Amino acid sequence: MIKRDDGLPVPSIFHRKSKGKISPRYLIKCGDCKNKLEIYHGDEDLEINGVLASKKEWKKILIPLLK
């Protein structure tokens, strides 16, 4: 397990390119446990752990959290 200077674990990030009908995906695994986050992405939408919404809607939700 890799940790940052502040003691937080570093997540592992994997990217899969699209193949035929399979959408491209980011897989983010926790650096401390077995939890994971799957993000499938298209031209105008994102599916994050099974929740599908437009990129515009995800921006409304996520941008304020990152400020």
- Condensed to tens digits (0 to 9), the pLDDT of residues 53-62 reads 999 999 999 9
pLDDT at 1 > cutoff 80: no
Strands (E), 1-67: 12-16, 25-29, 36-41, 45-48, 51-54
**Cβ proximity of 36 and 23 under 8 Å:** no
Whether 12 contacts 2, CB under 8 Å? no
User: Where exactly are the structural domains of the chain?
Assistant: 12-66
Residue 33, Cα to own-chain centre: how many angstroms?
Answer: 16
Q: How much is the pTM?
A: 0.82
